[in-house]
Chains A and B, each alone.
Chain A
Amino acid sequence: MSHFAKLRYLSILTLVTAGVAGTVATSFAEEPPKWVPGEVYPAELLKNFPCLDYTLACGKLKSPPVERIEFSGPLEGDAARGEKIATNLRWGNCIACHVLPTQDGGTIGPTLKGYGAREMPLDYTYQRIWDVRYYNPNAHMPVYGPNKVLTDQDVRDVMTYIYSSK
């Protein structure tokens, strides 16, 4: 679209919205895009997190505060779903950095093969996935819980998957 055509398009849009504002404005409110786990994360939503800019509002945002969550059992998640989450690059993507119980993966973090045999406390593992900063503020692991990359159920399913590896 040429610059001129773009301007014209925008001005028509403005006129249309201005004309109906006040009467049925609510029905015109645009639905914010939603992230469907497993699909591309909409770039528009990234504005809700800190960014590297001096003028955009996201440039002033801070990292979320550390969340300490006490795990309450029992685990009883869905290991198959957990594997899906751990291997999907648009979901948990644990495989990017870890060797997984059933698949080869990255070597940034420790291998998770045989994780169950290590008998790590459930509370420790849950916290480690939910918000790693509680144990190590300099770890290079996504802040899965606070930034809503994974839900509580997602984390339980991933844990069920890795604990099943003896």
Chain B
Amino acid sequence: MPGKELAIPHVSGDEKFSNTYQYWKDEKTIAAAKKAGKTSAETNYKDFRWAQKSFDAEGALDIGKQYFNQKNAAGKSCASCHGQDGEKLRGIYANYPAYSKKLKRVVTVGTQIKHCASERLGLDWADDSRPNVLTDFYIASLSDGKIIKIDATQPGPIKQAYERGRDLFFKRAGHFDFACASCHTPPTVGKRLRSQRPTTFFGDAASYPIYHFPYALAGDDYEYVFTLQHQIKSCQLLSRIYPGAEGSPAMTDIEVFLKASANGYRMSIPGAEYNMDTGYLD
């Protein structure tokens, strides 16, 4: 699909796509856009998903914190290395996915948690398991307000992952022969699609993981938390593409592309899933 040559690893890249960035680049512009009567779709939903915090996610974050402090038989927990309340992990979520020297590939925080839990604690916390997803959400909340920075411009594994992820984002697949970009780039962005209006892919990753009540996929047991991996899987199922395994190299590359497309934007965890002003549906 055309358009991918315009993508750059920075949130301002939206100017070449939906060109709504001017309405949601920070709190001030969002407030001004709302005052000028712009809709939520025109602020890329950042007026609530990013500028407001979820009232309901506290329970899920608490469970994540419990997993983080859960001691194994030897009395060890994530906190043993990463500090009480994860103080040593503050800010890291804004720089993930990152290259793991140990695993010799780019990994999401979820994949990092899986390997850490397995090696250090002897726990089987698969990428898409309840303890992993909820711990991931808790760790992400420790980076709330941090500016996202994924360096996809220097030659190296992250740049390569970004480019592969971008190519996958623009690749047509599945029963309908749709790409991710079919919905998340113009002219579809902002138009009515099955009673919703799709977002531009720029800046979206800043609100993930997101507390997604009452949505869940069949078999989910994550307290309605959607990591970016889980969101991509959900999108694939909706558009009839065989879903990738969460944490797989291809899915990780897509996450690198999305996260780098939020470079320069602040993380907002837990972002509000709902706009209390129901006018956003118009």
- CB within 8 Å of B: which residues of A? 3, 41, 43, 45-47, 49-56, 58-59, 63-64, 89, 93, 95-97, 105-108, 138, 140, 142-143, 147, 149
Are B243 and A143 in contact, CB atoms less than 8 angstroms apart? no
Nearest-neighbour CB distance to chain A for B165, whole angstroms, equals: 9
Interface of A is mostly: loop
In the complex, A51→B242 CA distance in Å? 6
Nearest-neighbour CB distance to chain B for A128, whole angstroms, equals: 15
From known contacts A46-B241, A51-B242, A108-B187, infer whether A142 and B178 are also in contact, taking CB-CB under 8 Å.
Answer: yes
Are B176 and A46 in contact, CB atoms less than 8 angstroms apart? no
Are A149 and B176 in contact, CB atoms less than 8 angstroms apart? yes
Are B194 and A52 in contact, CB atoms less than 8 angstroms apart? no
Nearest-neighbour CB distance to chain B for A25, whole angstroms, equals: 27
Residue of chain A at shortest CB distance from B124: A3
Residue of chain A at shortest CB distance from B176: A142
From known contacts A52-B250, A140-B182, A149-B175, infer whether A106 and B241 are also in contact, taking CB-CB under 8 Å.
Answer: no
Residues of A within 8 A of B248 (CB): 53-55
Residues of B within 8 A of A107 (CB): 191-192
Nearest-neighbour CB distance to chain B for A87, whole angstroms, equals: 11
Nearest-neighbour CB distance to chain B for A103, whole angstroms, equals: 12
Interface of B is mostly: loop
Are B175 and A106 in contact, CB atoms less than 8 angstroms apart? no
Nearest-neighbour CB distance to chain B for A99, whole angstroms, equals: 9
Are A41 and B191 in contact, CB atoms less than 8 angstroms apart? no
B227-250 contact mask (Cβ, 8 Å, vs A): 1 or 0: 000000000110011111100111
Are B193 and A43 in contact, CB atoms less than 8 angstroms apart? no
In the complex, A75→B173 CA distance in Å? 31
B165-184 contact mask (Cβ, 8 Å, vs A): 1 or 0: 00010011111111000110
Scan residues 229-282 of chain B and give those whose CB is less than 8 A from a CB of chain A: 236-237, 240-245, 248-251, 254
Nearest-neighbour CB distance to chain A for B225, whole angstroms, equals: 22
- Pick 27 A–B contacts, CB within 8 A, sort by A: A41-B240, A43-B242, A45-B175, A46-B174, A47-B242, A49-B174, A49-B242, A50-B171, A51-B241, A51-B242, A52-B241, A52-B244, A54-B250, A56-B242, A58-B242, A59-B250, A93-B194, A108-B193, A138-B1, A138-B2, A140-B182, A140-B183, A142-B175, A142-B176, A142-B178, A147-B176, A147-B177
- CB within 8 Å of A: which residues of B? 1-2, 124, 168, 171-178, 182-183, 187-188, 191-195, 236-237, 240-245, 248-251, 254
In the complex, A50→B243 CA distance in Å? 11
Find A53's partner among B1, B192, B193, B244 (CB 8 Å cutoff): B244
In the complex, A41→B62 CA distance in Å? 36
Count, A-B residue pairs, CB within 8 A: 96
In the complex, A95→B171 CA distance in Å? 24
Are A63 and B244 in contact, CB atoms less than 8 angstroms apart? no
Are B250 and A106 in contact, CB atoms less than 8 angstroms apart? no
Are B188 and A108 in contact, CB atoms less than 8 angstroms apart? yes
Nearest-neighbour CB distance to chain A for B87, whole angstroms, equals: 33
Q: Which of B168, B177, B244 has the most CB of A within 10 A?
A: B177
Residues of A within 8 A of B191 (CB): 106-108
Are A52 and B176 in contact, CB atoms less than 8 angstroms apart? no
From known contacts A49-B242, A59-B250, infer whether A106 and B192 are also in contact, taking CB-CB under 8 Å.
Answer: yes
In the complex, A133→B122 CA distance in Å? 52
Are B173 and A51 in contact, CB atoms less than 8 angstroms apart? yes
Are B172 and A63 in contact, CB atoms less than 8 angstroms apart? yes
Residue of chain A at shortest CB distance from B185: A140
Residue of chain B at shortest CB distance from A59: B250
Residues of B within 8 A of A47 (CB): 242
Are B175 and A41 in contact, CB atoms less than 8 angstroms apart? yes
From known contacts A50-B171, A106-B194, A140-B183, infer whether A64 and B241 are also in contact, taking CB-CB under 8 Å.
Answer: no
Residue of chain B at shortest CB distance from A109: B191
Find B175's partner among A59, A105, A147 (CB 8 Å cutoff): A147
From known contacts A41-B240, A46-B240, A46-B242, infer whether A63 and B193 are also in contact, taking CB-CB under 8 Å.
Answer: no
Nearest-neighbour CB distance to chain B for A126, whole angstroms, equals: 18
Nearest-neighbour CB distance to chain A for B179, whole angstroms, equals: 9
